[in-house]
Structure 1
Amino acid sequence: MKLSRRTMLAAGAATAGAATMGQALPRSNAARFSLGFAPHEGSFKSRGSRIEQIAFAADQGFTAWEDNEAAGRTIAEQTAMAKALQQRGMTMGVFVASMPRWAEFRPLLGGNDDADRIAFLADIRASIDVAKRLDAKWMTVVTGFLDRKLPVEIQTGRIIDTMRRAADIVAPHGLVMVMEPLNTLVNHPGVFLQTIPQGFAVAKGANSPAVKVLADLYHEQIQAGHLIKTMETCWDEIAYIQFGDNPGRKEPGTGEINYRNIVRWLRAKQFAGVIGMEHGNSIDGRAGEERLVAAYREIDLP
């Protein structure tokens, strides 16, 4: 039976109210969220294993899941996760295909040494089988660090060329690499890709449906702000979104970002993709998990 919008909102409000009062959350029949919010392993840590957490998330109305660490899991674990998501009608969000070596400040994809670019492309090739096992469409890539001895324009050109080469690898498989800009002011000093507009420029240069931008609004709020205007301007190159409030990188409502307005804007854009919940819980244990669900119910209302 297809629920009416009014029925879904009423059920969502009831769930949020119950969580706010500290009551046990229902294990089934919760209204599905109107947008593709995706918890990750650890969002519901108290509920048990990864598969049990997925089941719990589905029972609360979540329709997607993401797992940054999926590429490093065993084939059996990847297969089991994909099966669990398929059984619950959930979409697999991103996993990380290529991530910098933070302690070494590498790779320098725009640098003079082609070895970093060769290694990056090897990561991308290896991620194809992972994506197929997970039934995943999107994979996160971080384009490494700035080479402070080279003009940014030269590095940008080389990174665009690298992303074109990577697109030739994944595009035949229908996969999309989403480049994630990271903030340099709090978490990741020295990274090359720092804002959504910068990612937009690289994606435009790569000129491929397989190269898009991951708009992590926690990072963008720290680095530049102007979230809705930025997304509006760069919209045709944004393929994936992640939430996390600032300061603290916890659930919506714990910081300064007006996520309710952002959700309203995304709904007006008819965004049908995944929104990763790439943040921690502000409260430990089950109380924090209940607060997490309630926070998303609160912003999912019109």
Structure 2
Amino acid sequence: MITSRRHLLAAGAAASMTLGLSAAPGQASNAARFSLAFAPHEGSFASRGGLIEQIAYAADQGFTAWEDNTARDRPVAQQEQMAKALAQRNMTMGVFVASMPKWGQSRPWLGSDDGSEREAFLADIAASVEVAKRLNATCITVVPGFLAPKVPVDIQTARIIDLMRRAGDIAAPHNLVLVIEPLNTLTDHPGVYLQTIAQGYAVARGVNSPAVKILADLYHAQIQAGNLIPTLEACWSEIAYLQFGDNPGRKEPTSGEINYHTIVRWLRAHSFTGVIGMEHGNSLSGREGEERLVAAYREIDRS
């Protein structure tokens, strides 16, 4: 079965590469455009060159969006260059991260008794607004820190809801949406505060603002709780952005256990038109892996 699937994916990649002839800057791609706004990131097509070359290559394969978690930390000139490249190819900018947690230190504790980290977080949100304007982004990822020791979780939740209300008030006048991202604690991020989509739903409903919604990363969700489609169904009113990645391994769809064909059919049935971040690696190295990546997304896009 593995050999058969890889043969199918390789055939799909060859067909995609045939369509994916290079287009001049500012022109439409010759590749068939994906019907959903799948968003690669720097590294998805590393063999094709640097950031701008990878954006061009992605457009030539029919991708209509781009994602860059680290965009906030890039020099202003590079942010402007990226925005120009995306505009030339008529591509939508996906998320970037507003405030990166200190993973090795398990901070910040946004629900702790000390409010200084909450104020620093709000300063990061204000600075990220300017980055979003530069990039023409509409959604910004927020990771609401780690669990604070010795503080009841319900008290932390109340404090984080209050904090996200204040953050939403910063974002709302600029028509920006802060998407809070639940992360798994079993494989990648032990100790984070926000661990499930359902928990994110409780926070978002508590905030009750169009400027604060959920980023549903299905790789994290599968590891932490599973039951993906019923969870999406229950929490859909508060979900503004999705990310794909298969499990185990966090590679492209069809490489693991998640049935992304069914997920895509569910999204179509719910008329989802937002960006879907491709926040994962490639299961194969080099150009073979890049071609398999494109073929895998072609396969699920036909679902």
TM-score range, shorter chain: over 0.9
* Deviation, structure 1 residue 21: 8.4
Relative to the length of structure 1, the TM-score reads 0.93
Q: Is the 8 A contact 2:19 2:31 kept in 1?
A: no
Indicate the residue corresponding to 1:287 in structure 2. Answer: 288
Q: Name the CA distance, whole Å, in 1 between partners of 2:33 and 2:258.
A: 24
Q: Name the CA distance, whole Å, in 2 between partners of 1:157 and 1:26.
A: 50
Question: How much is the aligned-residue C-alpha RMSD, in angstroms?
Answer: 1.6
Structure 2 residue 110 is the aligned partner of structure 1 residue 109: yes
Q: Is the 8 A contact 1:15 1:25 kept in 2?
A: no
Indicate the residue corresponding to 1:256 in structure 2. Answer: 257
**What are the equivalent positions in structure 2 for 1:51-90 lying under 5 Å apart?**
51-90=52-91
Indicate the residue corresponding to 1:19 in structure 2. Answer: 13
1:17 maps to amino acid: A
**What are the equivalent positions in structure 2 for 1:1-302 lying under 5 Å apart?**
17-19=11-13, 26-27=20-21, 28-302=29-303
Give the 3-state SS of the residue equivalent to 2:98 in structure 1: strand
Q: 1:88 to 1:114 in 2, by over 3 A?
A: same
Relative to the length of structure 2, the TM-score reads 0.93
2:196 maps to amino acid: T
1:63 maps to amino acid: T
Give the 3-state SS of the residue equivalent to 1:170 in structure 2: helix
Q: 1:146 to 1:74 in 2, by over 3 A?
A: same
Q: Is the 8 A contact 2:213 2:240 kept in 1?
A: yes
Q: Is the 8 A contact 1:64 1:90 kept in 2?
A: yes
Greater shift after overlay, 122-131 or 27-36? 27-36
Identity of aligned residues (%): 71
* Deviation, structure 1 residue 197: 0.5
Q: Is the 8 A contact 1:19 1:25 kept in 2?
A: no
The alignment of Structure 1 onto Structure 2 pairs a total of residues equal to 289
Q: Name the CA distance, whole Å, in 1 between partners of 2:61 and 2:17.
A: 14
* Deviation, structure 1 residue 24: 6.4
1:207 maps to amino acid: N
Q: Is the 8 A contact 1:18 1:24 kept in 2?
A: no
* Deviation, structure 1 residue 19: 1.6
1:108 maps to amino acid: W
* Deviation, structure 1 residue 30: 1.4
* Deviation, structure 1 residue 76: 0.6
1:166 maps to amino acid: A
Greater shift after overlay, 99-108 or 249-258? 99-108
1:65 maps to amino acid: W
- Measured against aligned partners, the alpha-carbon deviations of 1:177-234 in whole angstroms (never above 9, x if no partner) come to 0000000000000000000000000000111111000000000000000111100100
Q: 1:18 to 1:255 in 2, by over 3 A?
A: closer
Q: 1:235 to 1:18 in 2, by over 3 A?
A: closer
Q: Name the CA distance, whole Å, in 2 between partners of 1:104 and 1:256.
A: 32
* Deviation, structure 1 residue 284: 0.7
Q: Name the CA distance, whole Å, in 2 between partners of 1:284 and 1:104.
A: 32
Greater shift after overlay, 226-235 or 25-34? 25-34
Q: Is the 8 A contact 1:16 1:295 kept in 2?
A: no
Q: Name the CA distance, whole Å, in 2 between partners of 1:169 and 1:26.
A: 41
Q: 1:145 to 1:16 in 2, by over 3 A?
A: same
Which aligned segments of 4 or more residues in structure 1 are displaced greater than 6 angstroms? 21-25
* Deviation, structure 1 residue 26: 2.6
Indicate the residue corresponding to 1:7 in structure 2. Answer: none
- Measured against aligned partners, the alpha-carbon deviations of 1:261-282 in whole angstroms (never above 9, x if no partner) come to 1001101111000000000001
